[in-house]
């Protein structure tokens, strides 16, 4: 098993520079957009709570609130991840990958 991994790993790092730059630029753009959306979501959560989130978590050691904030962070991350990945073609469009024009023939 280890021998198989040592044969595969060197090929994973061989990427042509002209193929890497567009992917890297897209990744940086999506990271920036994701961080902005996350910051907005966290700001909204902090503003709609009737108490200080920082005081409750840090000073009062409110574990339940920390779990809720963590769940919100994970939820926003999943939404951003799904938005970045887009439609993978396996949605609820009926299950068939055959184009609509050729289905009736």
- Write down how long the chain is: 105
pTM of the model: 0.58
> What's the pLDDT tens digit per position in 49-85?
899 988 998 999 999 999 999 998 899 889 888 887 7
> What's the pLDDT tens digit per position in 16-34?
777 788 888 888 898 898 8
Find tokens 């951003």 and name the residue.
Answer: 80
């Amino acid at each position: 098993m280890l021998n198989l991994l040592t044969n595969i790993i060197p090929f994973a790092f061989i990427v042509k520079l002209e193929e890497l730059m567009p992917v890297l630029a897209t990744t940086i753009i999506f990271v920036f957009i994701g961080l902005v959306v996350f910051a907005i979501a966290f700001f909204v959560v902090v503003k709609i709570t009737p108490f200080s989130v920082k005081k409750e978590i840090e000073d009062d050691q409110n574990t339940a609130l920390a779990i809720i904030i963590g769940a919100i962070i994970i939820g926003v991350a999943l939404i951003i991840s799904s938005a970045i990945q887009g439609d993978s073609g396996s949605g609820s469009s009926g299950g068939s990958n055959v184009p609509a024009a050729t289905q009736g023939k």
